[in-house]
Amino acid sequence: MSIETKQADQWQFLQTYTPARIARGRAGHSLPTAELLHFQADHAQARDAVYSELKVLELFQALLSTFNLEVLRLQSEVKSRSQYLQRPDLGRTLSEASRKILLEEEATEADICFVLADGLSATAINEHAFAFLDKLMPKLTEANWQIAPICIVEQGRVAIADEIGFILKAKIVVMLIGERPGLSSPNSMGAYITYQPKLGLTDESRNCISNIRPEGLSYEMAVEKMWYLLQEMNVKKISGVNLKDEMQDNLLN
């Protein structure tokens, strides 16, 4: 019976700077057994995140009781998680029942609308969406921004926010969504911001803040980035590739 001998990796010091799977050593031509098991565990965790479910009732109650705003529960045209993964187009489209809910709102013009969707990791929204909004809302309130009802969407993809924002007459829509899980980041939340949302927009019309989580981009830094982009959009009336992110340059001046 052979005994595995782990060989040291000269790049191991890089693990100090990143949680990425790098410099994990080797045993012969393969990974050491312990690292292989860690890989399998991380892979299983990422798969679990894809099939995780929104804690809709908990989110609903927390948002409603804290922000004193109307909260709407919506769904895309997707009928199952397997369909969600196979038919991205259905995840971008509101169900007829949800569209009716929005139309019955008889919305007045708002400055901003927040949409929360499971995406590819409901875990990310369950863990981070409320904490992020809790830090951002005071800035909006202080600046007297009019906020549309908050929408929680099950089985949703990024573009579904465009129709929601349009129906609710919001100048800006912010989609908080679970990002594609990585082996070291199964709970990463992304924020997509669009000025003048409407059906038919594509990714070049949106700005994105990615990897929002304590182990990645902290809530505080994400909120500062978000607030900067929101103010820029509000003044310049643009978003996406037309809006240059000069936040770092402004801080250095």
- pLDDT tens track for 171-186: 999 999 999 988 778 8
The mean pLDDT of 211-220, rounded to a whole number, is 94
Determine if residue 113 is labeled as part of a ligand binding site.
no
**Is residue 82 scored above 70 in pLDDT?**
yes
* Structure confidence at residue 147 (pLDDT): 97
Is 76 a member of any domain? Answer: yes
* Structure tokens that stand for 109 in this block: 């013009």
- Domains in the chain: how many in total? 1
The mean pLDDT of 137-160, rounded to a whole number, is 97
Domain of residue 91: give its range: 56-248
Is 92 a member of any domain? Answer: yes
**Is residue 190 scored above 70 in pLDDT?**
yes
Q: d(Cα 125, Cα 118) in Å, to the nearest integer? A: 6
Is 72 a member of any domain? Answer: yes
**CATH number of the domain enclosing 150:** 3.40.50.11240
Identify the CA nearest to 163 among candidates 131, 193, 201: 201
The mean pLDDT of 11-39, rounded to a whole number, is 76
Is 21 a member of any domain? Answer: no
Residue 230 in 3-state DSSP? helix
Is 26 a member of any domain? Answer: no
Is 12 a member of any domain? Answer: no
Higher pLDDT, 22 or 207: 207
* Structure confidence at residue 246 (pLDDT): 78
Backbone torsions φ then ψ of 153, nearest 5 degrees: -115, 125
Residue with tokens 């099939």: 51
Q: d(Cα 8, Cα 173) in Å, to the nearest integer? A: 50
* Structure confidence at residue 209 (pLDDT): 97
Predicted model pTM: 0.87
Is 237 a member of any domain? Answer: yes
Q: d(Cα 203, Cα 189) in Å, to the nearest integer? A: 17
Identify the CA nearest to 242 among candidates 203, 211, 215, 209: 203
Determine if residue 158 is labeled as part of a ligand binding site.
yes
Determine if residue 50 is labeled as part of a ligand binding site.
no
Is 155 a member of any domain? Answer: yes
* Structure confidence at residue 69 (pLDDT): 95
CB of 49 closer than 8 Å to CB of 119: no
For the chain, give the percent of residues with pLDDT over 70. 94
